[in-house]
Amino acid sequence: MKIKELEIKGKTFLAPLAGITNLPFRRLVKECGCAVVCSEMISAKGIFYNSVNTLTLLTSREDEKPLSVQLFGSDPESMGQAAAFVEERGEADIIDINFGCSVKKVVKQGAGVALMKEPKTSEAILKAVRKATNLPFTIKIRSGWDGSGQQAFALANIAQDAGVDAITIHPRTAGQGFKGFANWDLIQRIKETLSIPVIGNGDINCVEDAARMLAQTKCDAVMVGRAAMSNPYLLAQIEAYVASGTYKNTEPSDIFRTMERLISLYVAYFGEIHATRMLRGRLTWFVKGLPGCSAFRKELARLETSDQALDLIRTYETAGN
């Protein structure tokens, strides 16, 4: 599959996840194996106003590439300027625009999924970004504000006409948030009407789900979000399965090595104090479902240093969990 001239080597995209797909986590997933990683959503206004916190989110590394940088906003001019700025920095391989975020704070600004009700503004944003950048340009959408999918069809076609190079569809309505099920039929129906590649997203929890989405919807690639938060190997397993029909199961020892690697990547990037604070919550996701995990998770939640985390993992593993 190609997005503009960019050859995508594989079928898996790590979803943009605010607060999660920071540089250390993207590197971890890339090391495990996947085709494309995405940044968390980044405010076009924040770029416009040179916000240090926003600009920090644009930090990348060569070894995570290709990297898709996702922007959100509601104003065509600042969206175009932000896209030009991102291209000029030279770190992004793809620019993605968020048409799917249903968080109140974002919707209130007229951004994210709010744009799916505003085809004229959406079109202006798409044209402004297309004019501002030669980078491969993608968008990520939901099914819209009702169950019909009409707004998704309309936006997908406006986007293709405006020169967008690929579309990711998370087929839940704005009101659904993450509840209920993603309506994969809509991915299939939109894929049938477009000539640009379609990336399917929503409810891929295991390798077999990904295989089913690819077969059922004929999408060109899959995007995985929540399931990768606790199993960063999942995308690599999907790649292996698509290529060979088999994959290696995740063993508890893989989980522990992954946790150790994330600790070292977090400390290197965020510094000891900030990393430890963030890891208290973050590490607990990896051990969900393992025997004796609730006591282990309580201890992780009280971490004071990253070395303590490493000790806890060693003790837990040696105890045969």
Residue 206 designated active-site: no
- Which tokens go with 260? 């150790």
The stretch near ligand FMN (CB under 6 A) out of 81-89, 123-131, 222-230, 244-252 is 222-230
Given 32, 34, 101, 219, the catalytic residue: 101
- Which member of 171, 225, 275, 276 binds ligand FMN (CB under 6 A)? 225
How far apart, in Å, are the Cα atoms of 22 and each of 54, 214, 272, 295?
12, 27, 16, 28
Query: Do residues 85 and 50 make contact, with C-beta atoms less than 8 angstroms apart?
Result: no
- Which member of 27, 29, 40, 242 binds ligand FMN (CB under 6 A)? 40
Does residue 212 interact with ligand FMN by CB under 6 A? no
The stretch near ligand FMN (CB under 6 A) out of 48-56, 84-92, 201-209, 256-264 is 201-209
Residue type, 19: G
Q: Which of 297, 5, 284, 293 is nearest to 136 (CA)?
A: 5
Number of chain positions touching ligand FMN (CB under 6 A): 22
Does residue 136 interact with ligand FMN by CB under 6 A? no
Does residue 18 interact with ligand FMN by CB under 6 A? yes
Counts of helices then strands in the chain (DSSP H, E): 15, 11
Site string for ligand FMN, 137-156 (x = CB under 6 A): ---x----------------
DSSP per-residue codes, 205-230: -SHHHHHHHHHHH--SEEEE-HHHHH
Compute the distance between CA of residue 145 and CA of residue 151 in angstroms, rounded to an integer. 8
Q: Which of 110, 171, 181 is nearest to 146 (CA)?
A: 171
Does residue 226 interact with ligand FMN by CB under 6 A? yes
CB of 17 vs ligand FMN, minimal distance in Å:
4
Binding stretches for ligand FMN (CB under 6 A): 15-18, 20, 40-41, 70, 98, 100-101, 140, 170, 178, 201-204, 224-227
- Residues with active-site annotation: 101
